[in-house]
């Protein structure tokens, strides 16, 4: 059963995240981690904006946060968000793919700790951050999703993910939340 959903995004991400996260019920039975490439010191305000549009609880991830179902944790700027069992750890390691936080770093950590119980989603954005992370999730027998070209502001990240051969579903933005819910609620 999927217990953790990792969503990575870059250019166009805040709007895409709002579209997806606003469609989940407050009692959603998984934790959601968001890694958004964003300017320094804006991850907290992104969490506040999403909190107003969602029934889920949304917060900026903090070191030692215990993952809870129905919560969305936004990776803070200038830190990698990784896991130690069901605890969030903030890591000050070097950038990966030029990014900190890095989608790859978070997804690879999630794959190690949650294995087949993790889902990775790569949304609109430039570059290839998320490709290695989705591979790690696939290798761990988790589920992977990428946004389609037509609904992406920039299709580089989802395209690179798709071309890697590690994407289970390529979907338009408006269908991603329903697919996530269907897969999480699947027994």
CA 100/CA 77 separation, integer angstroms? 7
Q: Is 37 a catalytic residue?
A: yes
Q: Is 129 a catalytic residue?
A: yes
CB atoms within 10 A of CB 182: 9
Q: List alpha helices for the chain, DSSP H.
A: 13-21, 43-53, 103-114, 131-139, 156-163, 173-185
Catalytic residue among 129, 148, 151, 152: 129
From the number of C-beta atoms within 10 Å of its C-beta (0-12, 13-18, 19+), residue 47 rates as buried
Catalytic residue among 31, 37, 65, 96: 37
Question: Do the strands 80-84 and 87-91 form a parallel or antiparallel pair, or are they unpaired?
Answer: antiparallel
Catalytic residue among 10, 31, 96, 128: 10
Which residues carry out catalysis?
A: 10, 37, 129
């Amino acid at each position: 059963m999927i217990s953790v959903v990792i969503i990575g995004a870059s250019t166009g991400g805040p709007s895409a995240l709002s579209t997806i996260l606003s469609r989940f019920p407050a009692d959603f039975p998984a934790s959601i981690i968001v890694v958004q490439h964003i300017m320094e010191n804006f991850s907290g305000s992104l969490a506040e904006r999403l909190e107003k549009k969602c029934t889920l609880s949304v917060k900026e991830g903090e070191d030692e946060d215990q993952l809870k179902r129905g919560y969305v944790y936004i990776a803070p700027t200038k830190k990698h968000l990784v896991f130690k069992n069901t605890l969030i750890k903030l890591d000050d390691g070097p950038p990966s793919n030029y990014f900190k936080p890095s989608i790859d770093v978070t997804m690879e950590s999630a794959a190690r700790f949650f294995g087949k119980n993790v889902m990775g989603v790569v949304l609109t954005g430039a570059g290839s951050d998320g490709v290695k992370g989705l591979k790690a999730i696939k290798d761990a027998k988790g589920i992977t999703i990428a946004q389609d070209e037509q609904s992406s502001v920039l299709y580089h990240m989802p395209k690179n993910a798709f071309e890697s051969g590690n994407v289970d579903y390529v979907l338009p933005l408006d269908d991603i939340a329903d697919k996530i819910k269907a897969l999480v609620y699947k027994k």
